[in-house]
Amino acid sequence: MSILAQSASKRIMDSAASDNTYYENLEDDREVGTGKSKVQETSGRASSSTTFVWKILGFSVILTTLVCCMLYLFVFTRSTGKVLHISDLHYDPLYKSNALNHRSCACNMVEKQNCTASDTVLYGRVGCDAPLKLIETAFESAKSVIANPDFIVFTGDAIRHHSSVIKGALPDKLISLFRTISNLLTSYFGSTVVVTQAFGNDDFQKNYFFNTSKNCDQPLLRDVLPVFQRGMPDLAKVDTNMFTCGGFYSVSVSSKLTVIVLNTVLYSVRHNPKMSNAGQVEDPMGQFAWFDETLAKLQQDNIFVWIVGHIAPGYESYAMEPMWPNVYTRKYVSIVTKYARIVKAQFFGHEHLNTYRLFESGTNVPSPIIISGSISPIFCNAPSYRVIEYDKSTYDILDFVSYGSDVGEDNWSLRYRFSSEFDIYNGLSNTEMRKLTDRMRNDETLLKKYRMRKGDNDKMPYPQCGTKNDPADKNSELCAIEHLEQDAFEECVSNRI
């Protein structure tokens, strides 16, 4: 386009130059009295002026068209939306800032021997969940980098581990903790921003607990609904029946995008109490059927979808063990594959690590599973949140920027931008992330960088956090990224050795 503009410009300049020469010659002729008539002079001058005006007009049209094209490209293909993604806050109201660096002393309500008040740490410790002060500083930092997010993605675990040590009746004590976090979000981001919040395994009365035998009689879900509704100002767009029954729901966040929030605790290998026909139940609480029906309708209406959940399918990053029984993983993969055209993003948490999972190339699912780090530093990861950048016309994920603070400090800063850190400049698609994984197989420096960014703490792993001294072997780690299903994962590990 600039070559066209340059050539048009050159033509105008050339013709303007020749016109000037003509006038100069005319003046010269007059001076020397060559006898040209005034009629001839006037006629020549008028014709030349008309040509000049037409050329200028032509140039203006070309220029205007170019500017319009560039504006169109900028506005309709380059417009970037921004979403705040937070995960695994694990708010601990019992955190003590002046106990020893030991989980049983610093994080539980019962003081034990060996605790002293000499070591004051306000913003959280390795091995502990997050004090309110840490969550406040995280939100304050987020507010300073993204004051008005398009909406907020919250991939679960608002409440600390082992919440049974907190006194109080159920479900009220949990609801009061949910309310504290919800009010805090409102105080920083206002009351109109939509919060798409999933339930994590620690958000229920016991870890991984969801009593499916009670069907839709779920007191916690029923009573916590008003708290979640604060984050969904447009109630008409929210399916509250599914929320109060199974803890899953969908919310329309724009005319072109709906967020489906799943309760994936139902699919965890650690889910309890065990279902009477454990391992055979194909669809706990009817969530898969609802997921399929909801996607079918959205596809019919040409509406894009982002999926938000807590525990992702596939293998976890610590011991490389499956997080869902394979039967559920296969079901999830088949549904997402069926609606691949509209599923533009899949966000999960739970691992407290920055990582991702891929779909097999043959599925044509364009979006990978993107797993976020946590605000709780319990597993020695640096507290973090991220800003997701997406294309506002296609809702594809373009990039994310991770912000973090050192454990125990309030020094939030930009830690890394994913695209420039890992040389991915065409968006975070399944295809591009697969290329990154291939590069990591052959580039030890890149793999090391990925491992460091997983917890964003170069001191990881700490043995005292229950993480291994040595990182998982390279094959297991990369095969877990590349394959969600058991057979494919095992085949990958055995073939690569």
Strand 369-371 and strand 152-154: the pairing is unpaired
Smaller CB separation from Zn ion, 201 or 430: 201
Nearest to 354 by CA among 407, 408, 422: 422
Instruction: Enumerate the β-bridge partners of residue 322.
Output: 315
Please answer whether residues 307 and 260 qualify as being in contact, where contact means their C-beta atoms are separated by less than 8 angstroms. Answer: yes
Instruction: Report if residue 157 touches Zn ion, rule: CB under 5 A.
Output: yes
Smaller CB separation from Zn ion, 366 or 461: 461
Helices (H), 250-382: 287-300, 326-338
Minimum CB distance to Zn ion, residue 376 (Å)? 7
Backbone angles phi, psi at 422, to 5 degrees: -120, 15
Helices (H), 280-378: 287-300, 326-338
Please answer whether residues 461 and 380 qualify as being in contact, where contact means their C-beta atoms are separated by less than 8 angstroms. Answer: yes
Minimum CB distance to Zn ion, residue 374 (Å)? 6
Q: How many residues bind Zn ion (CB under 5 A)?
A: 2
Minimum CB distance to Zn ion, residue 157 (Å)? 4
Minimum CB distance to Zn ion, residue 476 (Å)? 22
Strand 257-261 and strand 304-308: the pairing is parallel
Which range in 80-88, 116-124, 228-236, 459-467 contacts Zn ion by CB under 5 A? 80-88
Q: What is the per-residue burial (b if ≥16 Cβ within 10 Å, else e) of 303-322?
A: bbbbbbbbbbbbbbbbebeb
Which two tokens mark 446? 């890149």
Instruction: Enumerate the β-bridge partners of residue 391.
Output: 80
Each residue 179-218 as x (binds Zn ion by CB under 5 A) or -, in order, gives ----------------------------------------
Q: What gap in Å lies between CA 112 and CA 410, rounded to an integer?
A: 28
Minimum CB distance to Zn ion, residue 208 (Å)? 11
Smaller CB separation from Zn ion, 208 or 339: 208
Backbone angles phi, psi at 464, to 5 degrees: -70, -10
Minimum CB distance to Zn ion, residue 244 (Å)? 23
Smaller CB separation from Zn ion, 88 or 316: 88
Which two tokens mark 34? 């060559």
Could you give the dihedral angle defined by the CA atoms of residues 286, 289, 292 and 294, in that order, rounded to the nearest 10 degrees? Answer: -60
Which range in 2-10, 85-93, 335-343, 423-431 contacts Zn ion by CB under 5 A? 85-93
Minimum CB distance to Zn ion, residue 202 (Å)? 6
Minimum CB distance to Zn ion, residue 368 (Å)? 21
Smaller CB separation from Zn ion, 157 or 399: 157
Which range in 38-46, 88-96, 358-366, 432-440 contacts Zn ion by CB under 5 A? 88-96
Smaller CB separation from Zn ion, 161 or 392: 161
Smaller CB separation from Zn ion, 202 or 389: 202
Give the contacts of 287 (CB within 8 A, at least 6 positions apart): 246, 248, 262, 263, 266
Minimum CB distance to Zn ion, residue 272 (Å)? 17
Instruction: Report if residue 88 touches Zn ion, rule: CB under 5 A.
Output: yes
Q: What gap in Å lies between CA 484 and CA 306, rounded to an integer?
A: 19
Minimum CB distance to Zn ion, residue 466 (Å)? 13
Smaller CB separation from Zn ion, 157 or 485: 157
Q: What gap in Å lies between CA 305 and CA 303, rounded to an integer?
A: 7
Q: What is the DSSP string of 153-175?
A: EE-S--B-TTGGGS-S-TTHHHH
How many of the other CB atoms lie within 10 Å of CB of 274?
Answer: 10
Each residue 98-137 as x (binds Zn ion by CB under 5 A) or -, in order, gives ----------------------------------------
Which range in 82-90, 319-327, 384-392, 448-456 contacts Zn ion by CB under 5 A? 82-90
Which range in 84-92, 240-248, 330-338, 355-363 contacts Zn ion by CB under 5 A? 84-92
Helix and strand element counts for the chain (H, E): 14, 12
Which range in 38-46, 135-143, 153-161, 245-253 contacts Zn ion by CB under 5 A? 153-161
Which range in 83-91, 275-283, 300-308, 387-395 contacts Zn ion by CB under 5 A? 83-91
Residues making contact with Zn ion (CB under 5 A): 88, 157
